[in-house]
Structure 1
Amino acid sequence: MKKHQTTLSDELERKIIRLFALGMSYQDISREIEDLYAFSVSTATISAVTDKVIPELKQWQ
């Protein structure tokens, strides 16, 4: 994330969720985002994004 940026775009959140759904680890997702967008996203941020959808995934199962 850029310095002083506190929120991710919806597009980036969707990308993180897609990568997570493909079974990528938080570290792999972080590297992929950095490769694609040239900025870093912490594993804590990725976890916060995926935590939003985990309850929905459990209901779907």
Structure 2
Amino acid sequence: MRARPMPYGCAERAFPVSAVRYQGVIHGFLTLNALRGTCSAQEAIEQAASFLARALGTGRS
């Protein structure tokens, strides 16, 4: 169950949008130090870093 509905109509925006769900983790899992070393947290950090690098043109894939 989601706390908020997924945003619809993002395709009409002038910027790229990505929505990812990490199953089996609690809300805020990425900001809790105790969960920082989990596979889900590491994957989320890598995905965010990669997305930002591509968006900023820094060459990271």
If the TM-score is normalised by the length of the shorter chain, which range does it land in? Answer: 0.3 to 0.5
TM-score, normalised to structure 2's length?
A: 0.33
Q: Which has the higher contact order (CA 8 A, sep 6+)?
A: 1
TM-score normalised by the chain length of structure 1: 0.33
Q: Which has a greater percent of helix?
A: 1
- Please identify the structure whose Cα radius of gyration is greater: 2
